[in-house]
Structure 1
Amino acid sequence: MTYGIIATWAMALEGVSDAAKNLANNGTIADNIEAAIKNIEDFPFYKSVGYGGLPNEEMIVELDAGFMNGDNLDIGAVAGIQDFANPVSIARALSTERLNNVLVAEGAAKYAQKKGFERKNMLTDRAMIHYKNRFKENSQTIQPDIVPYRGHDTVGVVGLDRAGSIVSATSTSGLFMKRAGRVGDSPIAGGGFYADSEVGAASATGLGEDLMKGCISYEIVRLMRDGLSPQEACEQAVNALETQLIKRKGTVGDLSVVAIDKNGDYGCATTIANFSFVVATDKIEPTVFIANRVAGKTNHEQANKAWLENYIQTRTAPLIEK
């Protein structure tokens, strides 16, 4: 039987590559999606996920994560959790509980502590420099209030294994300089993630306040259930939500989604330029693609070596406090 995994952003390449090897040898999708996201959470240069994630307005790193098992529709999520290394693992553990599947802030931390998850100071020196530089930029504006920075790279991973199990999971530090306690779509089932092993799975990244208004991950899976391909479902869901928000509010934030179905076919749609995602299946070696939308349709092109080198270099370049 087929297997496949797709993740938002080129930062997921290493984790997806390791997962693909394990899935080819009958590894479970649940284990390998968790491992792929932990790989990103642990790398300090990815400034929107895990260790090194950018802090809120009070210079505190608050992390969100979600996990959904498509076999039984079990979900687990944490929001606003501080000082734990791998929130995706905590979310997965919560998905196995009969009750209390979504925990926030202090309650999430108490659960994680009781279950023995690793405690860790998640605020790095590099993230503090980002914060201080941004704070100075804000203080020099006409209106010196802290304004959250909207560009961020939530990791979302969806996939299936040879046994036919499908999983969707997310992890993020959310908007840079967000208000304390702010929660976006990432830990919200149906918003940032959704999985159903009879159909497929989807995950989203972008401005959570807008993504959750369309229950977009659930909507993509629903459209696939109705017969659309993953690509068609992603494009229809993104275009419809963007149209509605512009009609009703006059504005819309970044919207990007990925999806996979039970046959291993995948899709991606975005409203931004040069959105990257990673795919590996039994037919495709782990590959980074660049997505751009032209006339309402998202085109995917394989990233070349120069693009990948620039991607890593810009994210690992030394920082200087201004």
Structure 2
Amino acid sequence: MNSRRNFLKTAALGAAALSMDGLPAAAQSRKGKARKPVVVSTWDFGIAANKAAFTVLQNGGRALDAVEAGVKVPEADPNNHTVGYSGFPDRDGRVTLDACIMDELGNCGSVAALEHIVHPISVARKVMEKTPHVMLVGEGALQFALENGFKKENLLTPESEKAWKEWLKKAEYKPVINIENKSYQGDGKGATAFNPLQLPGNVYNHDTIGMVALDAAGNLSGACTTSGMAFKMRGRVGDSPIIGAGLYVDNEVGAATATGVGEEVIRVVGSFLVVELMRQGYSPEAACKDAVMRIVKKKPANAKEIQIGFLALNKKGEHGAFCLQKGFSYAVTTAGQEQLIQGKHHF
């Protein structure tokens, strides 16, 4: 009898130790709660990015490797004019890229105003791992990339160049809210290219992919990459490559990323603020909402004309977002599940 009881006890423990998808029980959650590993990212194009990231996570990979692999997907996508290759240029016709990455140990790397390199996120990781610095910019960032084996390429595609030349006719700077989602309508299985020249008045906006992930070991990392605001002034840098603004990770608490008009995110040190609010006990969504409302409070009139969204993931694997205007979406991927969630909004 004792042998039978011991056998049953051992069998029960074995069943508890593994899930249907082969992940350890520690990586699972009870009904109604998020599971780990989990990856979340901004906008509709986050769906394809998440797939690449989750491939790393489901094989037991590190969250840092996952977020780098994930955001490289939109960086290389010629149909995505808001990130990486084929991004809309500045008003001088030059495509400049910004990116940052941060791991569970607080290590971070960043590049800003980087030209000619398809994957700025990978250069940012090299900055983190191979230099005593956090950020390299402009020609120095390009020199560092070339010295580390990255290939110099022309990032200005014919479509983006055509849009820039059309913009030059009036040279008006009037960003359009949520243009990134207008570029990527549908089911997320390979977006249909959006023709920016069809917009009334030839006005444009730019945006970012921010991604944060929690791996099976319970560690967090994040990445953020963009080609910046379309037709920006030469040398303009937004929040995306700035640790604490566009991205922040604290492995004891959670991680957050931002999207939208970077100047306003910088003014409230947005992603750091979201993480600190989670440290105080706020849920991811409540923390994102509080950060958005601080922006509204500072500039209520201006806030009605722009889009800003925050996305957060806590140490438990719970996620949430909040934005200024209707239209912001974020992608969530866990074992066996992909979701595109519409973020709650203020206006």
TM-score relative to the length of structure 2: 0.78
Alignment match of 2:139 (pick from 90, 94, 106): 106
Aligned match of 2:21: none
Q: Distance in 2 between matches of 1:148 and 1:79?
A: 23
The structure with the greater share of residues assigned to strand is 1
Q: Is contact 2:53-2:68 (8 Å) kept?
A: no
Shift of 1:135: 1.9
Aligned match of 1:195: 249
Q: Distance in 1 between matches of 2:56 and 2:128?
A: 22
Aligned match of 1:205: 259
- Alignment deviations for residues 200-252 of structure 1 (CA, whole Å, 9 cap, x no partner): 10000100111110001000000111111111111111112222222xxx423
Q: Is contact 2:75-2:83 (8 Å) kept?
A: yes
| Aligned-residue identity in percent | 35
Q: Is contact 2:328-2:342 (8 Å) kept?
A: yes
The amino acid across from 1:51 in the alignment is Y
- Alignment deviations for residues 129-169 of structure 1 (CA, whole Å, 9 cap, x no partner): 11122222x2xxxxxx5426352221100111011221111
1:149 and 2:175 matched? yes
Q: Is contact 2:329-2:343 (8 Å) kept?
A: yes
Aligned residue for 2:302, secondary structure, equals coil
Q: Distance in 1 between matches of 2:311 and 2:243?
A: 15
The amino acid across from 2:99 in the alignment is A
Q: Distance in 2 between matches of 1:291 and 1:72?
A: 29
Alignment match of 1:85 (pick from 109, 118, 128): 118
Q: Distance in 2 between matches of 1:82 and 1:47?
A: 15
Alignment match of 1:270 (pick from 315, 319, 323): 323
Aligned match of 2:109: 76
Q: Distance in 1 between matches of 2:299 and 2:253?
A: 27
Residue segments in structure 1 that go unaligned for 5+ positions in a row: 139-144, 298-322
TM-score relative to the length of structure 1: 0.84
Q: Is contact 1:55-1:176 (8 Å) kept?
A: yes
Aligned residue for 1:96, secondary structure, equals helix
Shift of 1:292: 4.2
Q: Is contact 2:76-2:84 (8 Å) kept?
A: yes
Q: Distance in 1 between matches of 2:299 and 2:280?
A: 24
Aligned match of 1:165: 219
Aligned match of 1:44: 78
Shift of 1:24: 2.2
- Runs of 4+ in structure 1 deviating by more than 4 angstroms, as ranges, are none
Aligned match of 1:60: 94
Aligned residue for 1:78, secondary structure, equals strand
Q: Tell which structure's C-alpha radius of gyration is larger.
A: 2
Shift of 1:18: 2.8
Aligned residue for 1:190, secondary structure, equals coil
Correspondences of 1:1-322 after superposition (within 5 Å)? 1=27, 2-69=36-103, 71-97=104-130, 99-136=132-169, 138=170, 145-147=171-173, 149=175, 151-246=205-300, 250-252=301-303, 253-282=306-335, 285-293=337-345, 296=346
Shift of 1:260: 0.3
Q: Distance in 1 between matches of 2:76 and 2:66?
A: 15
Aligned residue for 2:159, secondary structure, equals helix
Shift of 1:98: 5.1
| Pair 97,269 (structure 1): closer, same or farther in 2 beyond 3 Å | same
Q: Distance in 2 between matches of 1:148 and 1:112?
A: 33
Q: Is contact 1:149-1:177 (8 Å) kept?
A: no
Of 20-29 and 78-87, the range deviating more from structure 2: 20-29
